Structure formats: structure tokens, C-alpha cells
């Protein structure tokens, strides 16, 4: 299996404790470095650099004013912050707005929906290249590769058409999906196994009949992102019936997780997609530090079963890295998943 990765992620130079951020920023460069090291040691596939496909494929998914904001947010925010302190919103828009602010500090709260996404000097470049990694992986699959792993950082599944949050700035999975379609109406399935619901991905495709979203995640009544992810959210308009959520109780066992996965995989098979995009967040594993209430109880056997069951779909697959924050174990999780997916 080929692996697409880049050192550009280091430009989003977050640390665990960021000034102005009310909670620890678990999305740190060490995550990607741990994965990269583990893949190299285990010799899992050939690691290649991403191609630069430009901003065009990103514009297909995200609003231009949103992209303009992300590119200019750091320099525009400097009069409001000391030194190199990152820009973090403290006022957030409930989208029943009557006025759209034209500058800082209001502008940041218009596009952000939480305080987990600091804007640093290199944030845009890191997010841009994370998207290019996903596009490159999708392009390889489109050319005939059975599966390609995209080591994306920052992750993407919480980013919507013109919103960022949950450590995510650009929606890598959505951008990859549109690249696979290339203006056609080929069916794409997105399976999201991250512990947290991929609200951004859901909303981007909520009224789309060609891209179906399938998500296993913590019940939003009790964990992030709280306002999306209910089982009753099934799509709208042409997309009605193509959005599928499996909200699972906190503390769900491996058996409960795998039972939901089986339902999701069967639903994907019934959808008959041309391609599969897997939003692979490994925070569904036991002992991840981010989930509230202790997370799920999935162990190594469950991880292996998950990889093999998804692979049995036999679909050309882009595996996009999302969450997973136990840095000491994350690399091993990814290696085990990819090795078993590729068997």
C-alpha cells in the first residue's frame, strides 16, 4: 500500500497547552511524526510526497470567502494578539446572524464553531498540504491503486463548507471525494470510524445523492460535536436516505462497535459505490485521552477485525487520517490497521 505524507504538517506548530485555548490541544505535530516513524520501521508501503494540485479541488468543497479567511487570518489578527500568540475565537456565531463582520475580532468567530482550532503562522500551509495529500491519494486510487493511505494533518472531518472546528480546517475526505468524482455522478461512500461524529462531512453532502456518509461515533448527547450526529439525521432533498449515523453509548464495548460496523458495511454494499473513502480516526480505541466519559472499549482484536471487515468490501479505498491522540500508541494502531487492511 502506498502512503502519502509530507513534513508540511509541522508548520501547524501546535503544543498541548496553547495560550488562549481553554482545553489541551491534543492535535500536535508529534501525532503525525509517530505515525510516520511507525510506518517506516514496519516498512508499510512506499512513502511518497504529495503533488500540488492547486487550490481548485479545495474550492469545489469550500466557500471562497472561507478560504480567503484561512489564508489571511494570521496576519490580519496580529493587531489583536501579542507576539506570535495564535488567533482563537471567543465569540461564536449561531448562524441566525443579521450582520456579517468584515474584520477581526468578529471575523474569526464567524467561521469557527469552537476554540480547538488556533490559527498559527503556518496553519494555512499545513492545512493546504494536508488537502493535497488527500487529493494525491485519491488520484492514485483513481488511477487503479486498490488502497492508498493519506497521512493528513491537520485532520478534516469536522470542517464544513465554511466552518472550521474540532482541530479541522479543510475537509480532506470531502475534497478527496470530489476529486474521485471529477464532475461525474459516480457514487462515493464515506465511512467515518472516528470516535467523534464528522459533522463537517455530513453537512457538505447532506443534500447530495451521489455521496453517502456512514458514521460510527459517540452519542452526541454526551460527547463532541454535540449538535450533529443523531440517528434521525438521514439527509435532505436529493440526499434523503443517504446519511447514516450510528451514535453509540459512552463506554461501548468492542462487540457493540463491531455490530454497528457490520450494519454500516452492509449499508455501504447496498449503496454500490464506485469508491470508498475511510475517515480513519483511531480515537475509537480504548485509552485515547480525548473522548469524554472514557470513550469506547475497543482493543487490538477489534482494530484488526475492523480493518479486515472494511477491506472485504473490495472497494478502491482512500484511507484518510483523522483523529487518534494517544501518541505513544497511535503509530502502532495505524500500522496494524493498514497491514490487516492490505492482507
Geometric angle at alpha carbon 96, from 93 and 97, rounded to 5° = 65
Residues in the chain: 343
3-state secondary structure of 3: strand
DSSP line for 33-75: HHHHHHHHHHT-S-EEPPP---SHHHHTTS-HHHHHHHHHHHH
Query: CA–CA separation, 304 vs 316, rounded Å?
Result: 19
DSSP line for 4-41: E--GGGGGS---SS-TT-SS-----HHHHHHHHHHHHH
Query: CA–CA separation, 150 vs 225, rounded Å?
Result: 24
Indicate the angle between helix axes 123-142 and 64-77, nearest 10 degrees.
Answer: 150
- Catalytic: 62? no
Among residues 158, 196, 197, 326, the one annotated as catalytic is: 158
Indicate the angle between helix axes 327-341 and 300-311, nearest 10 degrees.
Answer: 40
The answer to whether residues 164 and 119 touch, using CB atoms and an 8 Å cutoff, is no
Closest alpha carbon to 324 in 18, 1, 35, 2 = 35
Residues forming the active site: 158
Amino acid at each position: 500500500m502506498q502512503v502519502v505524507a509530507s513534513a508540511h504538517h509541522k508548520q501547524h506548530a501546535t503544543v498541548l497547552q496553547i495560550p488562549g485555548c481553554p482545553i489541551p490541544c491534543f492535535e500536535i505535530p508529534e501525532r503525525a511524526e509517530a505515525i510516520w516513524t511507525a510506518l517506516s520501521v514496519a516498512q508499510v508501503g512506499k512513502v511518497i510526497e504529495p503533488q500540488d494540485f492547486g487550490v481548485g479541488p479545495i474550492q469545489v468543497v469550500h466557500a471562497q470567502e472561507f478560504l480567503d479567511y484561512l489564508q489571511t487570518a494570521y496576519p490580519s489578527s496580529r493587531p489583536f494578539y501579542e507576539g506570535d500568540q495564535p488567533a482563537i475565537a471567543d465569540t461564536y456565531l449561531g448562524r441566525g446572524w443579521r450582520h456579517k463582520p468584515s474584520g477581526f475580532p468578529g471575523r474569526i468567530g464567524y467561521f469557527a464553531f469552537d476554540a480547538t482550532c488556533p490559527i498559527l503562522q503556518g496553519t494555512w500551509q499545513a492545512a493546504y498540504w494536508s488537502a493535497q495529500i488527500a487529493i494525491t491519494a485519491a488520484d492514485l486510487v483513481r488511477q487503479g491503486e486498490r488502497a492508498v493511505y493519506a497521512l493528513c494533518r491537520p485532520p478534516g472531518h469536522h470542517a464544513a463548507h465554511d466552518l472550521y472546528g474540532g482541530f479541522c480546517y479543510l475537509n480532506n475526505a470531502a475534497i478527496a471525494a470530489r476529486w474521485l468524482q471529477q464532475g461525474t455522478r459516480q457514487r462515493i461512500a464515506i465511512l467515518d470510524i472516528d470516535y467523534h461524529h464528522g459533522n463537517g462531512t455530513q453537512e457538505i453532502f447532506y443534500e447530495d445523492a451521489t455521496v453517502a456518509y456512514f458514521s460510527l461515533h459517540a452519542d452526541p448527547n454526551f460527547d463532541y460535536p454535540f449538535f450533529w450526529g443523531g440517528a434521525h439525521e438521514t439527509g435532505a432533498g436529493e440526499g434523503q436516505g443517504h446519511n447514516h449515523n450510528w451514535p453509540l453509548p459512552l463506554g461501548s464495548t468492542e462487540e457493540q462497535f463491531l455490530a454497528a460496523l457490520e450494519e454500516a458495511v452492509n449499508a455501504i454494499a447496498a449503496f454500490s459505490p464506485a469508491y470508498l473513502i475511510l475517515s480513519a480516526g483511531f480515537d475509537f480505541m480504548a485509552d485515547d485521552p480525548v473522548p469524554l466519559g472514557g470513550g469506547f472499549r475497543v482493543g487490538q482484536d477489534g482494530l484488526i477485525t475492523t480493518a479486515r471487515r472494511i477491506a472485504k468490501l473490495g472497494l478502491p479505498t482512500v484511507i484518510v487520517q483523522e483523529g487518534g491522540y494517544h501518541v505513544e500508541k497511535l503509530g502502532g494502531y495505524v500500522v496494524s490497521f493498514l497491514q490487516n487492511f492490505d492482507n
